Structure 1
Amino acid sequence: MDDSEEDKPIAVWMASSLNDIREFPEEVRREAGFKLRQVQRGEQPSDFKYMQ
């Protein structure tokens, strides 16, 4: 893994977001974790939408 693929740590979880994710069903947690890892590596998940 080179520097461009290195995960950037999540510095701050807002409010109850970490606990909320932990309460998701396992399959949903895996998908969310996969998408978060893509963002941490500077990639864009295939199904992202810009915030307005």
Structure 2
Amino acid sequence: VAGDEDLPVNIDDLDADFDPKEYDRRMQQIFNDDYYQKGAEEDDVPEVSDEELQ
């Protein structure tokens, strides 16, 4: 979350009174499939053969 300039969080998310239904709605909106897909693309690991490991 820290350092993600594209994350759609605003000051009302932090300062407003806590409402569990609104919280759930915002979390689904913020942490949707696009959010997790973006993270998966950034975590691509190169393939290494067994021979390269020896």
Same fold (TM > 0.5): no
Q: Which protein is bigger by CA-based radius of gyration?
A: 2
- Identify, as 1 or 2, the structure richer in helix: 2
